[in-house]
A and B are shown apart, each in its own frame.
Chain A
């Protein structure tokens, strides 16, 4: 397993005395044993399935008008209806696809750009590095959302894929910055030097020696970008830049805001969509916590609750980082 051992060895490794000594079996899929990551992946899988099968299982068409105008949730319309009698639950189910597709296209795009820029900058060093890191810092400092708004606002049609590409084009900088820092630290390591001394070419050094050790950081950057992309896209739809016929959760909020759902007390109109966004965002954040704890053993123990720490006989104190036993076994 390509564990990243680059982060400092913990100052004090403590194997809890109450923890049962396990056989020295290599721990596979350590990442998946993290309860935070599992919860996040579970929620994400739920939405992913919804995105695929959504249009078939939605009880009504997202744009189908009916005579039940602005009704509160009932057994026929679980999440109520809007001012045209359209079923909100169906809109949410159908809209999931729009959100997920844009999130992932933007995430993949931004990650590719980030990896190329970040790893290149870190690896080549010198003037090329200066230029590329200045470029990514510029993109970091310029406020992204207004930039996305003015680009998308001037496009004749701002459909899902277009928005995703715009988000990718503006949101790659953070990943590039983190990757550059890590590549800088990796490229003088002994194993890279050894490979270089063996006469390996640069592209092979990057692809085979450096990149595998960046997997966790790339994954974390990807998840972070997806979160950002989802939020941006929903925001764009909410302010009415994307076409209103493209259903996603932001479109629902756009209709709700423009038809005074707040003033009419139609809470069912805007609460579910927001909760779905929050749920998806939380799932992605949890996955990122999982990755962080997987990479950095110091944070791993902080994932434990106070109670389970006490049960294991670990008392967190100053100058002392309890490291849970999984970390130790993974290292051997």
Chain B
């Protein structure tokens, strides 16, 4: 269990670092835009809320930085991330709670699809190296070099504006009431298809490339040659011997590239006006809503950490070496 102990210690450290960064950033910034904002909201903001914003942004000059830090943690444990200025007077935590499921749904589904298809494709291409399948590589290189949001723009222009197959923005039909009905779910899927496809298209290249390179390396290992020489079926050699080992780095790079993918997907939400946390972050940035910005960053980071922990469990399930004692 040493593996898990180490990983848990690491994630605790990362979570602490994320919170501390979040604490330090507004304190290191020159000027004080938050004071101006509070001034503008004078009279509309109750003293309790104003106080928590002061703590979050370090406006209390009579406290030293350490006291501020302790107060900050206290607020976080109460789930108090301050009030949003854009959606005044909704607490940030409520906004985040509403938008997070949409993002997790969109990013989760499309990332899993991209990972699965990409790994399978990469496996095939790596195994049949030197055939027509290598021709796919330049195409994937191109897609990995394109910014996510631009691909989104093109997708909207072609499929929503020109062909009219999909809606260009939003996440469900505004005429429907959000409820657990077949009609509503269908609408969510219909609105989510275009953003999801764009995310898949732009992130799949990395998985294909990574898996292919690992397959090339692994297929020249001795145990693969032995398996082949024993006369095992091609299927068994590919899945049981080569891919089984080639997928390990793929899973650990999944954990590392998650932050990058999430970043790209957030921008995608902005392009599609999809009501997830990325779109909220975008609104917060454009209206200079600092509490909301900070809250979004914190929640995004913690979610990425959560996904990383899951990836670690998968890794441990795939690689028996991590489960060895000692």
Which residues of A are at the interface with B, using a C-beta cutoff of 8 A? 10-12, 134, 137-138, 140-147, 149-151, 153-156, 227, 231, 234-235, 238-241, 253, 256-257, 262-263, 265, 267, 270-271, 273-274, 277-282, 284-286, 289, 298-299, 302, 304-306, 309, 314-316, 318-321
Residues of chain B contacted by A253 (CB below 8 angstroms): 149-150, 153
Residues of chain B contacted by A305 (CB below 8 angstroms): 134
User: Which residues of B (1-51) have their CB < 8 Å from a CB of A?
Assistant: 10, 13-14, 17-18, 21, 25-26, 29-31, 33
- Asked if residues A319 and B220 are in contact (CB atoms below 8 Å), the reply is yes
- Asked if residues B256 and A140 are in contact (CB atoms below 8 Å), the reply is yes
Known A262-B156, A263-B161: A239·B282 in contact at CB below 8 Å: yes
Known A138-B17, A154-B29, A278-B146: A318·B224 in contact at CB below 8 Å: yes
Is B237 on the interface with A (CB-CB < 8 A)?
A: yes
A174 (CB) vs chain B CBs: closest residue: B256
- Asked if residues B130 and A316 are in contact (CB atoms below 8 Å), the reply is yes
B221 (CB) vs chain A CBs: closest residue: A319
For A234, A239, A299, which residue has the most chain B Cβ atoms within 10 angstroms?
A239
Known A144-B260, A154-B293, A318-B237: A278·B134 in contact at CB below 8 Å: no
Pairs A–B under 8 Å by Cβ, sample size 16: A12-B220, A137-B10, A141-B259, A141-B304, A142-B17, A143-B300, A149-B281, A154-B293, A267-B157, A274-B146, A274-B147, A284-B145, A299-B216, A302-B216, A309-B130, A316-B130
Residues of chain B contacted by A238 (CB below 8 angstroms): 147, 149, 267
- Cα A315 to Cα B258 with chains together (Å): 37
Report how many A-B pairs have Cβ atoms within 8 Å: 190
Residues of chain B contacted by A274 (CB below 8 angstroms): 146-147, 150, 153-154
- Cα A306 to Cα B225 with chains together (Å): 22
- Cα A140 to Cα B259 with chains together (Å): 8
Is B184 on the interface with A (CB-CB < 8 A)?
A: no
Is B207 on the interface with A (CB-CB < 8 A)?
A: no
Interface size of B by CB at 8 A reads 72
Distance between B157 CB and nearest chain A CB, rounded to angstroms: 5
Which residues of B are at the interface with A, using a C-beta cutoff of 8 A? 10, 13-14, 17-18, 21, 25-26, 29-31, 33, 129-132, 134, 141-142, 144-147, 149-150, 153-154, 156-157, 160-162, 168, 213, 216-217, 219-222, 224-225, 228, 237, 255-256, 258-260, 262-264, 266-267, 270-271, 281-282, 284-286, 288, 290, 293-294, 296-297, 300-301, 304-305, 308
A316 (CB) vs chain B CBs: closest residue: B130
A322 (CB) vs chain B CBs: closest residue: B130
For A143, A151, A155, A234, which residue has the most chain B Cβ atoms within 10 angstroms?
A143
Distance between B155 CB and nearest chain A CB, rounded to angstroms: 10
Residues of chain A contacted by B300 (CB below 8 angstroms): 143, 146
B132 (CB) vs chain A CBs: closest residue: A306
Known A138-B13, A147-B297, A316-B129: A277·B290 in contact at CB below 8 Å: no
Residues of chain A contacted by B26 (CB below 8 angstroms): 154
- Asked if residues B297 and A146 are in contact (CB atoms below 8 Å), the reply is yes
Distance between A198 CB and nearest chain B CB, rounded to angstroms: 37
- Cα A253 to Cα B148 with chains together (Å): 13
Distance between A119 CB and nearest chain B CB, rounded to angstroms: 20
Distance between B247 CB and nearest chain A CB, rounded to angstroms: 17
- Cα A238 to Cα B266 with chains together (Å): 13
- Asked if residues A262 and B168 are in contact (CB atoms below 8 Å), the reply is yes
- Asked if residues B142 and A278 are in contact (CB atoms below 8 Å), the reply is yes
**Which of B157, B213, B237, B266 is within 8 Å of A145, CB to CB?**
B266
- Cα A145 to Cα B259 with chains together (Å): 8
Distance between A319 CB and nearest chain B CB, rounded to angstroms: 3
A139 (CB) vs chain B CBs: closest residue: B17
Distance between A135 CB and nearest chain B CB, rounded to angstroms: 8
Distance between A90 CB and nearest chain B CB, rounded to angstroms: 20
- Cα A90 to Cα B146 with chains together (Å): 22
- Asked if residues A142 and B14 are in contact (CB atoms below 8 Å), the reply is yes
- Cα A145 to Cα B14 with chains together (Å): 17
Distance between B91 CB and nearest chain A CB, rounded to angstroms: 19
Apart from the given pairs A141-B255, A146-B281, A319-B221, 14 other A-B contacts in the complex at a CB distance below 8 Å: A137-B14, A141-B259, A145-B263, A146-B263, A155-B29, A227-B145, A234-B147, A238-B147, A241-B285, A253-B149, A256-B153, A262-B161, A274-B147, A285-B141
The 6 closest A-B pairs by CB, nearest first: A145-B263, A281-B145, A319-B225, A143-B259, A274-B150, A316-B130
- Asked if residues A150 and B25 are in contact (CB atoms below 8 Å), the reply is yes
Known A146-B263, A147-B21: A154·B33 in contact at CB below 8 Å: yes
**Which of A153, A239, A284, A319 is within 8 Å of B228, CB to CB?**
A319
**Which of B220, B282, B285 is within 8 Å of A11, CB to CB?**
B220
Residues of chain B contacted by A241 (CB below 8 angstroms): 285
**Which of B29, B131, B305 is within 8 Å of A306, CB to CB?**
B131
- Cα A140 to Cα B285 with chains together (Å): 23
